Amino acid sequence: MSARELVVLGTSSQVPTKTRNHNGYLLLWDGEGLLFDPGEGTQRQLSLAGVSASQITRICITHLHGDHCFGLPGVLQRLEMDRVTHPVDLWYPASGTVYIERLRGAVIGRAEVALRSKPAEEGLLADTGEFRLLARRLDHRVDTLGYRLEEPAGVRMLPDRLAARGVQGPDITRLQETGAIEVDAGTVRLGEVSVPRRGQVFAFVMDTRLCDTAFELAADADMLVAEATFLSEHADLAASYGHLTAAQAATIARDAGARLLVLTHFSQRYDDAGARARAEAETVFDGEIVAAEDLMRVPLPARH
């Protein structure tokens, strides 16, 4: 199993259908689990996907429309029932605080999980050293945030050069930490035995019209998860309700330089919505495209 992959828990907008659950996406990133937009039924979908609640370390909600947050009470209850002891950060637009509090108090009792509520404006939300989590405002009918996870740039060690300079074992780690070490043959500098490695990027763009910040979030993303609520035949409805068409999602991916586009949040008005959305996106974006299906696992692309 990939250490970095997207677990799709649901792909339907507005209402669940017979074949699609409400929204829900779990990004597994090394030891972290970032849950995005837990719609109705997310707790059950986690079980069907074979995901433990203990894998959730952070929850990111784009906005407080029901299909993006109805599942929060169930997820919090599941965290409590599974006796998850680690802290869980919960980010959401600051203007939605009153609704988050209602969801947290939706039933008798209150989960005692170590939930750290973090009402957010756009900007840097967290920097763990292993990744940075950022948010930008999108253009929907209510306050909405898009999210971007960035891995810091690093280096890739070159085994042949290391061997040629006599660097091996613990010395490799020391070289990475200090930038230069002394060996029998003299001084070895990190740049002599490595090449730069760009950090991986994940972007989450949900419920928005085309806007500059959507392109900024998606810039050079290895994986872009984007809504494709409508097809171009209903572009007027997309603009009216603050959504993207599949072609517009593909335009973001193309112009932002994304590698993999994952389409989701499909309207129930379309039969075979995923296939039709992908076909439309392929006319715009020539990179890899996945039309998301419930319980699908999508690995982040391998590094270049």
Annotation says 184 is catalytic: no
Residue with the two structure tokens 């050069």: 161
Question: CA–CA separation, 206 vs 204, rounded Å?
Answer: 6
Give residues with Cβ within 8 angstroms of 151, minimum separation 6.
130, 131, 199, 200, 201
Question: CA–CA separation, 65 vs 53, rounded Å?
Answer: 23
Structure token pair of residue 279: 């076909």
Give me the catalytic one of 67, 207, 222, 294.
Answer: 67
- Cα–Cα distance list, 43 to 69, 72, 224, 241 (Å): 12, 9, 24, 28
CA atoms within 13 A on the CB side of 166: 8
Residue 121 per-residue DSSP state: -
Question: CA–CA separation, 281 vs 265, rounded Å?
Answer: 14
Residue with the two structure tokens 């995005």: 36
Residues with catalytic function: 67
